[in-house]
Amino acid sequence: MTEPFDNTSPKNVEMRNNSEADKKEALWKNIFFINLCVTFLLIGLFWLPLKLEGLEEFINSPSVNLPKRGEIDTTKATAKENRIEYKDLLPSMVAVINASSEKDWIYFDFSSGKTVDIQDPTSLEWDLAFRRGKVISNGGATNKFGKAGLIDLKVKEFDLVQKVPLENYIQDAATRTEPENKVLEKWYNYNYFTHKLTAKKNVYAVRTSDSKYAKVQFLSFYCDNKETGCIKMRYSYQDNGENSFLKPPTGSETTSVATISKASES
């Protein structure tokens, strides 16, 4: 007769074997869970920084087959626009600025609507400067003599911004490498899967270097030939120093009329 506590009994042997199998199964589950956690940790430590580095390389990478550096094109960009034009608003322009250079800033002046050659950055003859995806303004740490600054008005319909603030504009600030304007650090969204930049729909209020006002909305980072480095932006400029983008009232106009402007295709 088998003793109740005999470890050699078939029943006790089976129970012991089942217990050892359960321990092994639990051990393998723990090992799998630990390996899974380590995998996610390694992805977070190595994959994400590589993606961020790839973003920087993408933004700063050279382009080929581009128009002349610094060239601005308003005709083609405007021809592709199909928007409602409000007769009581100051006209808006669309400019495409070739800012493909990795090291040279391209300077833009709102008063002339053109890029300008600047030898001395402390000049007041420019308002914004572009280099690849970076944008700075003529004020603060970039130029102590300039009054330029920006305010992010968030996502808005461009033509519905009829007035911009008079104060609290953010100027360029010094960093460890070069001055930056934090308002324009992220004027785009980056897709990690397609490696494409998409301009945000935010509208930005701009105080120019000589304390005039403009409003800006970035549209694209790509040239007509699909290369990168062409900053396409819509803007409206008020040259009389006021912060309103409404035309001065006239006796003949008593109501605001909107008309559809369809530019002919080139």
Q: Over its length of 266 residues, how does the chain's per-residue pLDDT go in tens digits?
A: 555 555 556 655 556 666 777 777 778 878 888 888 887 777 766 666 656 555 555 555 444 334 445 455 544 444 444 555 677 899 999 999 999 998 999 999 999 999 999 999 999 999 999 999 999 999 999 999 999 999 999 999 999 999 999 999 999 999 999 999 999 999 999 888 888 889 999 999 999 999 999 999 999 999 888 888 999 999 999 999 999 999 987 754 433 333 323 333 33
CA 261 to CA 79: how far, in whole Å?
Answer: 10
67 assigned to some structural domain: no
Helix (H, G, I), strand (E, B) or coil at 73: strand
Distance of CA 172 to the CA centre of its chain: 16
Q: Are residues 178 and 82 in the same domain?
A: yes
Q: Bridge partners of 115?
A: 108
DSSP string, 162-184: -B--SS-PBPPB--SSS-B-GGG
Range list of β-strands (E), 40-186: 72-73, 82-86, 93-98, 106-109, 114-116, 128-131, 134-137, 149-155
Q: Bridge partners of 199?
A: 188
Q: Are residues 203 and 93 in the same domain?
A: yes
The domain of 10 spans 1-60
Whether the full predicted model's pTM is greater than 0.75, yes or no, is no
66 assigned to some structural domain: no
Q: Name the domain count of the chain.
A: 2
Q: Are residues 87 and 34 in the same domain?
A: no
Q: Are residues 107 and 223 in the same domain?
A: yes
Comparing CA positions, the residue from 58, 55, 81 lying closest to residue 217 is 81
177 assigned to some structural domain: yes
Q: Are residues 115 and 191 in the same domain?
A: yes
